[in-house]
Amino acid sequence: MDSEAVREGLAVAAARLATRGLVIGTGGNLSVRDGDRVFTTPSGADLAQVTADQMVVTDLDGTVIEDTDHKPTSELLLHLEIYRSTDAAAVVHAHPIASIAVANLVDELPAVHYTAALLGGAVRVAPHEIFGTQALTDAVAAALAERTAALMRNHGSVAYGESLATACERIELVEWQAEIYLRTAAVGPGATLTQEQLVQVAVAAAERGYSPLRRK
């Protein structure tokens, strides 16, 4: 990949999350993997204003490999673990309001809509751990097993994908489904889909070449 294009893409995606209200202030972070290099938003960055030249480049062990005055995101451990344990090309972590509310109420965001198939099923909630720690990394990695997104109690959400656009779309999808869940739960018990039903959705979508999310 072209280094400048990756940096600019991260800045655009960060602004997108901020504009759509998925982060506030310096909360949230994004990264893209390019071979043995990982480009991340800098620690303490306001995602609404972060610029391409502020991005930090590390190797897969977390060592900064390009000169910069900035430090990598405080959640670097989490990003690197997701790259090690999945086929992710991009990782996005945000602090969306509905997602946090759901994570504080239940152990799992149930499949309230068939698009949960795009996330691998119901979204698990990782227990609260201090940000930037190995404990949080381990908890989220477990919640992500066979999933492409997870919630983090009293904290936020995380999603990954084969591109930065897909990772952003998935974290937005989690927030949308969290809002559906909260509105439904405010009225009463709602209908949810089983894993078997979601598999049927995935099969039907594959057969018809259908995806509710934008394609590259």
Catalytic residues: 75
17 near 168, Cβ under 8 Å? yes
Alpha carbon of residue 21 to chain centroid:
14
* Coil vs helix vs strand at 12: helix
- Which pairing describes strands 37-40 and 56-59: parallel, antiparallel, or unpaired? antiparallel
Other Cβ atoms less than 10 A from the Cβ of 204: the count is 12
Cβ 40 vs Cβ 30: under 8 Å: yes
24 vs 7: CA distance, rounded Å: 21
Place of tokens 């344990």: 85
